Structure formats: C-alpha cells, structure tokens
Amino acid sequence: MIYKNLTDAAIKHFKISRSRIEKCFNEISNEQLWNDFNDNLVSIGNLVLHLNGNLTQYVISGLGGEEFYRERDKEFKDKPRLSKSELLNLFGVITEKCCEIFEDLSEEKIKKSYIVQGFNYNGAEIIMHVTEHLSYHVGQITFAVKLLNNKDLGYYKGIDLNKQNKR
C-alpha cells in the first residue's frame, strides 16, 4: 500500500500547487502574465504552459496512456495571450486529470517502466519527477509575483511555523 501513500501525497501536493498558482494569478495583470522578464527568464504564462506540457506528457500520456505530441520549445516562446482565467482553467483541467490518474494507479502501473522524453522511469519516478518539477516552477512563479508586486502571498498565514517537532 505504500504506492497509495505516494499517490495520495502527490494529489495533495498538486492541489496545494494549483491554489498557489491561483493566488499568484490574483496578484498580477493579464499583461504581467505574458511579459518576459529578460532574454533568459520567460513569463509566468509561459511557465504555466510549460507545466501543462510537462504534466500532460509525463502523467496523462505516460502514466495514463493518452496520445500526445509535445513541442516543448514552443512552451517558452509562444505567447497565446490567453487570459489569466483561461490559462488557469486549462492548468486546472490538466492537474485534475493528473490527480484522477494518480487516484486510479495500480501497484503494477507504479512499478511498470515507461519511456518519457527519452528517459526510462518507473511510475513512482514519474510521480516524483512531476511533483518536483511542479514545485520548482511554482517557486519561480511565486518569486516572480513577489518581485513584481513586493507583496507576501500569505501561503502560511495564520500558521505558526516555529512549532517544534514532537517525539
């Protein structure tokens, strides 16, 4: 049953990440969503497009078995100028589909080997990869929004983070 603990943890993390991106989107304009920071730092919108591509390729196609063709480079270059709500809705649909796939994963599928993006992963490694990748980019998006607006996003508001571990 350890695989169920893994998938439950991934689902919980995906929901937290989605809510953090929603908070970030609430703090920026549609224009800020698509403005690149410089030649080496893409827009918040492009980071979300990239997350959509990564999650679809690894989870929906890899673990879920759906056909998918990805043009990864376009995720960083294209500016489809979707509104915040349109992009957030698309991200929500994709993350929800990922959570449904995690919920239905069997131990056999967790142990199975998959080739994704030319890499050989088992199902557990895919879950670890997408969870880490999602966290990485949510952190970048959070940093960008804080930089743009000089505002605390309050992810831990009302929680005492100085509590010590109990043994």
Please give the CATH architecture assigned to the domain spanning 2-149.
Up-down Bundle (1.20)
Packing angle between helix 44-55 and helix 123-149, nearest 10 degrees? Answer: 170
**Do 101 and 63 touch, CB atoms closer than 8 A?**
yes
* pTM for the model: 0.94
**Do 103 and 127 touch, CB atoms closer than 8 A?**
no
Q: Where are the domains of the chain?
A: 2-149
**Do 44 and 32 touch, CB atoms closer than 8 A?**
yes
Q: How far is CA 137 from the centre of its chain?
A: 7
Q: How far apart are CA 138 and CA 130, in angstroms?
A: 12
User: What is residue 1's predicted lDDT score, i.e. its pLDDT?
Assistant: 66
10-residue mean pLDDT series, the chain (167 residues): 88 98 97 94 97 98 96 95 96 98 95 96 98 98 97 94 91
Packing angle between helix 44-55 and helix 84-104, nearest 10 degrees? Answer: 30
Residue that is written with structure tokens 């893409």 in the block: 42
